[in-house]
Amino acid sequence: MTVKITINKAWCKKCGICVAFCPKHVFDGNPGFHPKVARPEDCIKCKLCELRCPDFAIEVRSDENE
Amino acid sequence: MSKNKPILMQGNEACARGALAAGCRFFAGYPITPSSEIAEVLSEELPKIGGRFIQMEDEIASIAAVIGASLTGCKSMTATSGPGLSLKAENIGYASIAEVPCVIVDVQRVGPSTGGPTAPSQGDVMQARWGTHGDHPIIALAPNSVKETFEVTIKAFNLSEQFRVPVILLLDEVIGHMRERVVLPDIDSIQIIDRKKATVPPEEYLPYKPDKDGVPEMASYGDGYRFHVTGLTHDETGFPNTGSENTDYLIRRLHEKIEKNLDKIIMVDEYFMDDAEIALFAYGSPSRSSLSAVRKAREEGIKVGLIRPVTIWPFPAEVVRKAARKVKKIIVPEMNLGQLIGEVEKHVKSDAEVIGLNRVDGELITPQEVMEKIKEVL
Amino acid sequence: MQELLDKYFRKDKLPHIWCPGCGHGIVLGAVVRAIDKVNLDPDKTTVVSGIGCSSRAPGYMKFDTLHTTHGRALAFATGVKHAKPELNVLVLTGDGDAAAIGGNHLIHAARRNIDITAVLFNNNIYGMTGGQYSPLTPTGKVATTAPYGNIDQAFDICNLAIAAGATYVARGTVYNVTQLIGLISKGIQNKGFSLIEVITQCPTVYGRRNKMGTTIDMMKWQKENTVNVKAAKKMSKEQLKGKILVGELYSDTRPEYTEQYTKIVERLQKEGQ
């Protein structure tokens, strides 16, 4: 069961919150740059990145809810 | 002829009953002499007919609650006096730009500030026009009797609903507090106007897209239209748009709603004007003293007439211009140091001499004073 | 996220106007998720706001929305709720909007216990106007109008609301957004006046001027300087020094204003007056 994390670059204001607070360090990148989904396999689908994204720019999807 | 029996009624009560007859079902207000009776009557009468009353924490909150209620589709009113009108100014401007129908009663008392709470005045006339900041449309009406207060309150609601504009009802302490014998018209004989409801489905609805008369259809909160209302300059979608083109368009459209419908808004009575050489221009309480002075003067063969506007804003310029071409002098009695006289002069220019008759001592202008002024200017 | 966006957001209005790292987007997300959790009908829900950064939030929400004048959201909302009690009414307001110019309306809405849920975006500053201090700016902090350090003492706005009569009062942070969603949901379900103060960050004017680092540092600060009200019961005064209590601070039941009035209306109509 792989996880698909998408980032809406049009809305993302590169604040770096997702990168800083992901408990599993799935993202890479610094504030001022779009985050990169570096290690999706480590994602535990807690969705804190989605909840904490001020720009509503992150979507965490797993196969079940495709 | 109305089937109603004659009754003795106070002006403020007539205002409250006129509101009920007009379909007002929400009142928010704050106690202030000389208008509190309006709130008291409505606090008793509204719940009997399924309406709702609330006394708010101040006048600012009262007009805010009235606008909120109106947006749910409910005809709403507040009532106050000068000090309260000063506090309500900002939100009256909000109702203007957001085009939310509402009626604001100002039972004028001697100002400025606390002034003379139980004494009549007409000192808020320019405040009714320019109390709130920015170019904005407004309608202000001034009855001069208890019976007319009933009728003009209904007119205020009708105009407010028809043109989606705040309407200020200018009484003074005497009109508000005096009692007169009144035969109220039958309910079914009264013309009631309701706002144009939204006719298109929600997904096509543009809350600020005007019809031919410049007035947009109005949905209500809770009907599934999910529309946005803001005090920021906005476009037809209702969302903020402070671009210069849109700003110009919006402000001019708000004004044209009034300027292109003057025939439906301006109400003026004229007495003995056909062959008049002198005219009196008076509204509210002073218009009654003026009428009795005019009658007496006519008995003495003096050719004097009276122009009595019910509509104060928009100013009845056409009637005044027409009269100025006929008469030599226009006397403007006001319970202030001269406010609406400025508008008279603006439109009369040099066609006639304009003379003020002013009292600011909290007493009514008497027929004798008007008579003396007529003779003085003869 | 996509389902929420389709159902509750005016997507064509996004991206929003808030600065990168501003916490207000997180608060708005929490409000929408709370609405979704308690299943409010957007057709029967009116969201009212005043003026300020916080108050742009309803513009992004696919509800009946009302962006009013500064400080007056609760008074406008009282009119909506009292005229049509079946509507759910939320107010989104800021620390300046609610605690300064709007303070009088806040304490009276609480005193009446009218069924309105007020979410107060507290970023300790007037952001929209460029960084002036507000009644919730802590003493000593710097702002454009407190260049020598704020000498005012800030309100404890939650205790103020409790004292005024609110029947549900809670405080949350954008850092602990999961807790925040729960607090807002309970506030909505409370049949009376609910206030949820949300500690959110303004990195642009407040954080920078007060050298609080990036938005990330400011959210970490929230984590380190707050204590859950339940845990606090077992902590000493010393341990609690300088800590901000978060969680459900007060919950009570009291007659709801519009229901009390409706009873009068029903009684009168039954008596056929």
Look at A54 and C219 and tell me if their CB atoms are within 8 Å: no
Please state which of the four CATH numbers 3.90.1150.10, 3.40.50.920, 3.20.20.80, 3.30.420.40 is assigned to the domain occupying B268-377: 3.40.50.920
Contact list in A for residue C20 (CB cut-off 8 A) is 13-15, 31
* Assigned fold of C2-270: Rossmann fold (3.40.50)
Tell me, what's the pLDDT at C273?
56
The answer to whether the CB atoms of B222 and C64 lie below 8 A apart is yes
Q: What pLDDT is stored for residue C187 in this prediction?
A: 98
| Strand pairing class (C88-94; C45-49) | parallel
Please write the tens of the pLDDT for every residue from A20-48: 999 999 999 999 999 999 999 999 999 99
Q: What would the two tokens of residue B221 be?
A: 């909160």
Give the start-to-end residue ranges of the domains of chain B: 7-189, 268-377
pLDDT, residue B2, reads 86
* Chain A neighbors of C23, CB-CB under 8 A: 54
Closest partner residue to B50 among C59, C84, C269, by Cβ?
A: C269
CB within 8 Å of B237: residues ≥ 6 apart = B206, B207, B208, B228
Domain ranges of chain C: 2-270
- What's the rounded Cα separation, in Å, for the pair B336 and C62? 50
pLDDT at B192: 98
Q: Does C216 contact A21 at a Cβ distance shorter than 8 Å?
A: yes
In sequence order, what E strands does chain B have?
7-10, 26-29, 52-55, 76-80, 102-110, 116-120, 139-141, 166-172, 179-182, 228-230, 268-271, 278-281, 304-309, 311-313, 329-334, 353-358
- The whole-angstrom separation of Cα B162 and Cα B313 is 16
The proportion of chain C whose per-residue pLDDT surpasses 90, expressed as a percent, equals 99
* Cβ contact, residue pair B47, C63, below 8 Å: no
Position B372 scores a pLDDT of 98
CA torsion, ordered C52, C54, C56, C57, to nearest 10 deg: -170
pLDDT number for residue A64: 63
Other CB atoms within 10 Å distance of the CB of residue B361 = 11
Q: Name the burial class of residue B277, with classes exposed (0-12), middle (13-18) and buried (19+) by CB atoms within 10 angstroms of its CB.
A: middle
User: Are B7-189 and B268-377 in the same CATH fold?
Assistant: yes
> Mean pLDDT over residues B74-99, rounded?
98
Over residues B11-42, the pLDDT tens digits come to 999 999 999 999 999 999 999 999 999 999 99
Chains in touch with C (≥3 Cβ pairs < 8 A): A, B
- pLDDT tens per residue, range C174-226: 999 999 999 999 999 999 999 999 999 999 999 999 999 999 999 999 999 99
Give per-residue pLDDT as tens, B239-278.
999 999 999 999 999 999 999 999 999 999 999 999 999 9
Rounded to whole angstroms, the Cα distance separating A27 from C13 reads 27
User: Encoding tokens for residue B163?
Assistant: 């043109």
Cα distance between residue A42 and residue C22, in whole Å? 28
> Which of the four pLDDT bands, split at 50, 70 and 90, describes residue A52?
very high
Q: How open is the CA angle B64-C112-B101, to the nearest 5 degrees?
A: 20
> In sequence order, which residues have a C-beta less than 8 Å from that of residue B328 and are 6 or more positions away?
B277, B278, B352, B353
Task: Choose among C23, C76, C71, C88: nearest CA to C48.
Answer: C76
* C77 near B CB under 8 A: yes
CATH architecture, domain B7-189: 3-Layer(aba) Sandwich (3.40)
- Contact in structure between C273 and C130 (CB atoms under 8 Å): no
User: Distance between CA B229 and CA C63 in Å, rounded?
Assistant: 11
Say if residue A2's pLDDT is above 90: no
End-to-end CA distance of chain B: 41
Structure tokens at B239: 């969302």
d(CA B292, CA B305): 11
Question: For position A62, what pLDDT does the model report?
Answer: 83
Own/partner long-range contacts of B8-11 (Cβ < 8 Å, ≥24 apart): B8/B179, B8/B180, B8/B181, B8/B182, B9/B146, B9/B179, B9/B180, B9/B182, B10/B37, B10/B146, B10/B176, B10/B177, B10/B178, B10/B179, B11/B146, B11/B149, B11/B171, B11/B174, B11/B175, B11/B176, B11/B177, B11/B178, B11/B179, B11/B180
| Neighbour count for residue C273 (Cβ, 10 Å) | 11
Taking alpha carbons only, the member of C89, C106, C81, C93 closest to residue C51 is C93
Shortest CA gap C23–chain A (Å): 6
Mutate which: A6, A15, A45, A49, vs C, most C CBs within 10 A = A15
pLDDT value of residue B260: 96
pLDDT in tens, C136-153: 999 999 999 999 999 999
Q: What is the mean pLDDT of chain A?
A: 94
- Residue (of B103, B250, B90) closest to B164 by Cα position: B103
